């Protein structure tokens, strides 16, 4: 296992990070199976584990905590907050009130007294970024977290946060966690270059394109992936077209689709680690078998020809969309204002 430095933190992490989203009711409810997979991954050299408070509403963190009893110092432990943990409107977001409370909940569930990387799961337009950075900085100074990062943050907001940290003398985001795969290369345009400019580590999620790059999703074939019935991207013809072009490339190269996709994700110099999210031991073993696969320039060129750099072949259903895209009122002037503009006579320049 060739370890990489997480941005400029000095922390060494494996190129694959074990994602724990599938541990608990959201995926595999068997706690012993989850613990066994964590032990298997750590024994194989993976020293980076990523979870979140809202994965099975804390159950994933509890499983990770149980697995790391006696092995805590062997692992760089990352978790996240932001998404709702109850119906209470204050049990979510990036406010100081919620951050200082929820970090204690995560520490308890994880059975640890510190978190290596604490991440905001999504941006929070309702909270001043200085409020968030100030609260996270205080947690660093208190020794409860070692570093903090963002997730799904647009490049412009990454830059803003870096400037606020510098101007206010606050700790800064050390990492970013965006989605990245052969099917979703949008971050190559700005997010990855910006993260590299500011010395941020990048751990990418869904390197298998939400399951479409496993080779088990083919046009006109039944799939046994349970999530296929719940997400629209599985029936997206554009994504299916790409998969059908990648399958013969993988076969010709003698590489499985899964290993091709993972090797692509960690080939970019701006990517520190790619998060794997196995639900079963069989899936984990298959992923671990490809950890040393390296793609040649020829294969990467052929992937570029199929999906050009910086291109998203539609978005994952769970991808973050900024308020400007979600809220129509942010894209449209008020109707009365539009009507008045149309009715107002146009002035004619003097001498025309």
- Give 227's pLDDT tier (boundaries 50, 70, 90): low
Does the pLDDT of residue 225 top 60, yes or no? Answer: no
- Give 231's pLDDT tier (boundaries 50, 70, 90): low
Report pLDDT digits (tens) over 102-121: 999 999 999 999 999 999 99
Does the pLDDT of residue 229 top 80, yes or no? Answer: no
- By C-alpha distance, which of 125, 313, 303, 115 is closest to 206? 313
pLDDT at 348: 58
What mean pLDDT comes out for the span 23-41? 97
Q: Which helix (H) or strand (E) holds 317?
A: none
Cβ neighbours of 156 (radius 10 Å): 12
Asked whether the beta carbons of 281 and 38 are under 8 A apart, the reply is no
Q: Which residues pair with 78 in a beta bridge?
A: 50, 117
pLDDT at 345: 63
Torsion angles phi and psi, residue 37, rounded to 5? -70, -40
* CA distances in angstroms from 259 to 33, 42, 272, 283, listed in the order given: 23, 19, 17, 12
pTM of the model: 0.91
Looking up tokens 């024994």, which residue turns up?
43
Does the pLDDT of residue 73 top 80, yes or no? Answer: yes
Per the prediction, the chain carries an average pLDDT of 93
Torsion angles phi and psi, residue 133, rounded to 5? -65, -35
What mean pLDDT comes out for the span 6-22? 97
Dist. CA 8–CA 265, nearest whole Å: 20
Lowest mean pLDDT among 163-177, 197-211, 234-248, 329-343: 329-343
Dist. CA 198–CA 247, nearest whole Å: 37
pLDDT at 352: 54
Question: Known catalytic residue: 55?
Answer: yes
- Give 340's pLDDT tier (boundaries 50, 70, 90): confident
- Annotated catalytic residue, options 55, 118, 180, 198: 55
Report pLDDT digits (tens) over 293-328: 999 999 999 999 999 999 999 888 788 888 888 888
Cβ neighbours of 183 (radius 10 Å): 28
- Give 40's pLDDT tier (boundaries 50, 70, 90): very high
Compute the Cα dihedral for 35, 41, 47, 48 and give only its sign: negative
pLDDT at 226: 55
Domains of the chain: 4-318 (3.20.20.100)
């Amino acid at each position: 296992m060739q370890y990489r430095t997480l941005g400029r933190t000095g922390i060494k992490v494996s190129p694959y990070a074990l994602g724990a989203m599938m541990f608990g009711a959201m995926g595999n409810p068997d706690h012993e199976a989850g613990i066994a997979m964590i032990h298997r991954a750590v024994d194989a050299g993976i020293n980076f584990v990523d979870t979140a408070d809202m994965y099975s509403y804390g159950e994933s963190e509890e499983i990770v905590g149980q697995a790391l009893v006696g092995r805590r110092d062997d692992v760089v432990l990352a978790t996240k907050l932001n998404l709702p943990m109850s119906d209470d409107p204050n049990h979510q977001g990036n406010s100081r009130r919620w951050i200082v409370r929820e970090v204690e909940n995560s520490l308890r569930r994880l059975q640890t007294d510190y978190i290596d990387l604490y991440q905001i799961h999504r941006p929070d337009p309702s909270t001043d970024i200085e409020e968030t950075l100030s609260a996270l900085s205080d947690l660093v100074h208190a020794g409860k977290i070692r570093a903090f990062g963002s997730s799904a943050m647009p490049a412009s907001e990454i830059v803003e946060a870096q400037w606020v940290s510098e101007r206010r003398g606050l700790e800064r985001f050390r990492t970013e966690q965006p989605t990245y795969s052969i099917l979703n290369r949008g971050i190559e345009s700005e997010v990855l270059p910006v993260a590299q400019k500011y010395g941020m580590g990048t751990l990418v999620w869904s390197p298998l394109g939400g399951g479409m790059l496993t080779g088990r999703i083919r046009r006109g074939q039944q799939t046994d992936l349970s999530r296929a019935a719940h997400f629209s991207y599985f029936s997206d013809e554009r994504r299916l077209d790409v998969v059908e072009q990648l399958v013969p490339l993988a076969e010709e190269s003698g590489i499985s689709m899964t290993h091709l996709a993972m090797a692509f994700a960690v080939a970019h110099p701006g990517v520190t680690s790619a998060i794997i999210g196995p639900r079963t031991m069989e899936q984990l073993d298959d992923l671990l078998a490809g950890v040393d696969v390296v793609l040649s320039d020829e294969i990467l060129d052929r992937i570029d020809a199929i999906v050009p750099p910086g291109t998203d072949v539609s978005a994952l259903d769970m991808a973050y969309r900024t308020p400007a895209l979600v809220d129509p009122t942010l894209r449209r002037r008020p109707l009365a204002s539009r009507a008045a503009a149309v009715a107002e006579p146009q002035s004619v320049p003097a001498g025309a």
